Amino acid sequence: MLTLDGLLQEVAQKRAKFQSKESDSGATDYAEVWNAYVEYLKTCLEQKRGLHLSNFCKVGWHTSRGGKGSARPVFQLTDHFCRAYLPQEAARKQAAILATDADLSSLEDFNFSKAAIKFSQQLTKDQMFTGLRSIVQTIGEAMSEGREVSVRFGDVGKLICRERDPRFHFISDNQGLEGLEASTAPLAEGGRTSGASFRRSAPEEAKKPWCPRKC
């Protein structure tokens, strides 16, 4: 199973050949990139809006049409990600999505400069961009190879993929952020609740090398 720790180690190993001998960047650097992404996402959710990372996913709040009723968190893979990494059969399932973009709360496009400055200790915009792209690519490649994936998004939730069927399980404690009513989805593994698996498309393949800290 590819967990977050294994993912970060795998990304670091794949990118090591592109780095100079003087560079000491590794899994710790990618961990900082991922933590910055998660903190950015959590901040958006707490402010009742979502976050859109174009090559990977959208995470936000879904409300009933007309804006009435309770809100529940939703996760959608982007179309690009699905086309790049999921088989046709799995991609067709994405057509049966219960939430449309019109039903989602406002989404903020991921800002790499903001992520580096506000949510990291010392990353640059370029490091945030290349690091996150490498992480997303490795997640996608693992899914396309049929590997089991279980990647935690901090205390927001966990992305799980078995037999090329990705699902996102939100942690129940975070479904009521900012007073919004929690989803009543059934319990998933480890006592976590699973919002319906909204999966659209996602990433672009990353071929650029990791930019070491002092590039």
Q: pLDDT, tens digit, for every residue of 170-206? A: 997 554 454 333 333 322 223 333 343 333 333 343 3
Q: What is the mean pLDDT of residues 150-161?
A: 97
Judge whether residue 212 has pLDDT over 70.
no
Of 1, 18, 25, 34, residue with least CA distance to 156: 34
Q: How confident is the model at residue 88 (pLDDT cuts 50, 70, 90)?
A: confident
Helix %, strand %, coil % of the chain (to 5): 40, 20, 40
Q: Which residue has the tokens 């050949």?
A: 17
pLDDT band at 11; cut points 50, 70, 90: very high
The contacts of residue 166 (CB under 8 Å, 6+ apart) are: 77, 86, 90, 143, 149, 159, 160, 197, 199
Least confident of 82-86, 161-165, 211-215: 211-215
Distance CA 169, CA 208 (A): 31
What average pLDDT does range 49-54 have in this prediction? 95
Write out pLDDT tens, residues 158-169.
999 998 889 999
